[in-house]
Chain A
Amino acid sequence: MRRKFVIGMILFSLSLLVLSGCSTPEATAEPTEAPPEAPIEESGGLSDEPVTLTFWWEGAAVGNLEVFQKSFDRFMEMHPNVTIETVAIPFEDMLRTFPLALDAGTGPDISMSLPLESTTYPAAQAGHLLELTAIGEERGWWDKYDMKAIEFDNRALDGIYGVPYEWTAVGVFYNTEVFSDLGLEPPDTLEEFEAIMETIKQAGITPVSVGGKDGWPLVHVWQQLVFTNVEYDTLRALEDRDPTQSYENEGLIEAANKVVEWFEAGYLDPNLLSTGFTDANDLFINGGTAMNIGGTWVQQDFRNAPFEVRFFPVPPMRTDIPLHLGGFNPANDIVIVKESPNVDWAIELMDFLLSEENMTLWWENGFLVPYTFDEIPPGKDQLQADLYTTMQANGPGHFITVAAPETNQLIWANMQEIVAQTKSPEEAFAEVQELYISEVSP
């Protein structure tokens, strides 16, 4: 209504202009732009009417999206009246755009969402996401799904809003050709890992690429060490916004010092602070480095490399605490937008994505799906086997930094400063702690 009013006002004020006072008026240009098309209102329901579902993908790495595309293609084959449009949105843009678009009603119908406080919680709390518990029970979604993954991603919410599509892990992706040329084997201890990096460096190759310009990939390197150097309970409490916990922790600082040590030793890309996430992946894929420390969300991109890529976890700093792997937790959530005019079709699509047929498809394409197969289908490749083995051998390790968005971004920034040595880890974490406290207990 108000929109019509505005447009009416504009047309009115412009029409004033064509009135003229004497003889022949000079023709005045008038904008002839048609009002933008109103969104097509779908009545919903499973009719045969043509429907377009919009799916937002988080991430600049689109390899995994190609696997999703296979699922979508299958779905569109089953339902010829449905068209699924996918839009890939880089991580930082997603953080800002997703909540805004939901508020504005211009968001997707079904989407990837970043777990916990990043985007799923705020979106659910603002009432934009569809609660799935009952629908899922009715349709048998939860029967064979790994509920640990679902519980984890929805633990502060009053129901199920986000369904993670796989288990992620973060660790070392390596170029098998370089390793076999130099006679290297995946390491078991940190000393062995450092020896490997030294050998590679001596051979004139940069050992590890890291997208340090974007902040968060650099934090992952640190976090891999943190989970093997600090008791799990402490980290879990930080992740759960426990105000009695502190970032001024010896173990966190030691891990940061280790990152600096590697950087100084030339084990990490000397240009990592001017290398973004995609740049670092490309560098590795193009043979510029022998390894990349990253997460499974780029696994498909690495499968497209001209050499075989395999995986091992960063070996532990301390061997006296139980093994946990940083970044080993449920992946991004799939969520349905409540206000979507096509919510029925979005549920139908979700139904397909969570089906045994699709889980098999994903597994066969290399995803580590949180699903209990009666009989595990044949997997994709050695990379998947490496990831699977790692996950069996380690406890989950999450992302401690996602607890509080501001603290999170300060850690990104401060880790860059730590590596650049413009801030000591002690100073950096004192500052982080101050912000953390003000953010979790205002």
Chain B
Amino acid sequence: MPKTKSQSFKPFLFIAPALFFYLAFFIWPYIQLIWLSLLEWNGFGDRVFIGFENYVDLLDDRQFWLSFQHNLSWSMAAIIIPVALGLFLALLLSRTPMHGKVFFRAVYFMPQVISSISVAVVWGWVYNPTFGLLNQSLEFLGLGFLARGWLGDQTFALPALFVAWSWIHYGFTMVIFIAALEGIDEVYFEVAKIDGAGWWQQLRYIVIPFIRGPMTTIVLVTAISSFQVFDLIFALTNGGPGRATIVLPLYMLTSAFTFHKIGYGAAIAVVLSMVILVFSLVLLRVRGSLKESSVA
């Protein structure tokens, strides 16, 4: 009897510290966030409970929808471009005879560890209209007519930022794909070769089914981090020119702390977290159904 009692008590001792931090500095602020989003509050005056009014206001806030739209297109691009690039490099680096695989892996992955503000500084220089690497290289190649102030151009600013962001992230997708590809048993390929399957068929019938699981992880992780994109944009364009690069995290902070609309900023944050949640659930559901169909 005493043994089982201590047994049922002790596990909670193991979990308690983790639970404490998780509750106090994560769950509690999230509850606070939801509460704040129901208030009208300028940060110092009275807190007025206004129900869902902030959310209703969001519905016809053009700036909000614009930010939302930028976030969506950013995330769509994010789950395609760095993922595809990573897959391509992984195919190149994992199952082919070549030299210096380890070296190349390390190089491609390197931007992932560099702080995004450093990356912003580097890319701010790359895109500088007069001294920038990009325009200088275009000049050098005789393509000077393509040169422009990349980050000051309504059309190119967001894609230019996205390129900088992809530069950070493709290494991550690549490394995980490599791991997945190397986990495939060589036997499958031997058999395929005997059957006379070409490169495309091998990809279609062996590689793709095997990397479906890791692919979901990569897409999920990439999507979550792409929805929160902030550092690069904050440092490089701060939402401009015009509002060409404004995104939800940026609008959230500006609303709350520059415009002193704490409740409104909190509502934006809640919406952002809901979008991420829904996206994750949809993705997991899609994977679930894919799994079932592949079993069937």
Contacts and interface: CB of A to CB of B under 8 A. Distances in A.
B105 interface: no
Interface in A381-439: 405-406, 409, 412-414, 416-417, 420, 422-423, 431
A416 B258 contact: no
A100 B16 CA distance: 33
A213 B151 contact: yes
B242 A422 contact: yes
Interface string B145-158: 00001111110000
A436 to B, nearest CB: 14
Nearest to B156: A274
Given A95-B258, A273-B149, A274-B127, A416 B240 contact: yes
B253 A96 contact: yes
A85 interface: no
B240 A127 contact: no
B20 A9 contact: yes
Contacts of A126: 43-45
B16 to A, nearest CB: 7
Interface string B1-45: 000000000000100110011000000000000000000001111
A105 interface: no
Interface string A78-102: 0000000000000010011001100
Interface string A33-77: 000000000000000000000000000000000000000000000
A215 B44 contact: no
Interface in B148-173: 149-154
Interface residues of A, number: 35
Nearest to A122: B260
Contact of A420 (B17, B129, B241): B241
Contact of A417 (B20, B44, B62, B154): B154
B188 interface: no
Contacts of A95: 258
A15 to B, nearest CB: 10
Contacts of B13: 16
A275 interface: yes
A99 B261 CA distance: 13
A127 B43 CA distance: 12
Nearest to B257: A96
A13 interface: yes
B17 A103 contact: no
B193 interface: no
A271 interface: yes
A212 interface: yes
B263 interface: no
B141 to A, nearest CB: 20
B243 interface: yes
**Chain B facing A: main interface SS:** loop
B79 to A, nearest CB: 28
Contacts of A291: none
A271 B257 CA distance: 31
B153 to A, nearest CB: 7
Nearest to B25: A6
B149 A271 contact: yes
Contacts, number: 88
A174 B241 CA distance: 27
A369 interface: no
B152 A272 contact: yes
Nearest to B255: A406
B150 A417 contact: no
A127 B44 contact: yes
A422 B154 contact: yes
Interface in B251-275: 253-254, 257-260
Contact of A416 (B127, B129, B242, B257): B242
Given A96-B253, A122-B260, A405-B259, A271 B20 contact: no
B90 to A, nearest CB: 35
B289 interface: no
Nearest to A6: B24
Contacts of B152: 212-213, 271-275
Contact of A96 (B44, B45, B258): B258
A411 to B, nearest CB: 11
Given A16-B13, A213-B152, A215-B240, A275 B43 contact: no
B259 A103 contact: no
Contacts of A275: 129, 149, 152
B244 to A, nearest CB: 8
B118 interface: no
B239 interface: yes
Nearest to A92: B238
B17, B238, B258: which has the most chain A beta carbons within 10 Å? Answer: B258
B150 A274 contact: yes
Contacts of A215: 240
Nearest to A418: B242
Contact of A13 (B16, B153, B238): B16
B245 to A, nearest CB: 11
A125 B42 CA distance: 11
Contacts of B128: 274
A406 B63 CA distance: 11
A380 to B, nearest CB: 32
A215 B153 CA distance: 13
Nearest to B242: A417
A100 B45 CA distance: 14
Contacts of A100: 257
A235 B154 CA distance: 30
Contacts of B237: 213
Nearest to A414: B242
A416 B17 contact: no
B238 A103 contact: no
A92 B243 CA distance: 16
Nearest to A212: B152
B239 A413 contact: yes
Interface string A315-331: 00000000000000000
B129 A413 contact: no
Contacts of B243: 413, 417
Closest 8 CB pairs between A and B?
A274-B152, A274-B149, A273-B152, A13-B17, A126-B44, A417-B242, A271-B129, A416-B241
11 contacts: A13-B16, A92-B238, A96-B253, A122-B44, A270-B149, A275-B152, A405-B259, A405-B260, A412-B240, A413-B239, A413-B242
Interface of B: 13, 16-17, 20-21, 42-45, 62, 127-130, 149-154, 237-243, 253-254, 257-260
Given A95-B258, A122-B44, A273-B153, 15 more contacts: A92-B238, A96-B257, A122-B42, A122-B260, A126-B45, A215-B240, A270-B149, A271-B129, A271-B130, A271-B152, A274-B150, A405-B258, A409-B258, A416-B240, A420-B153
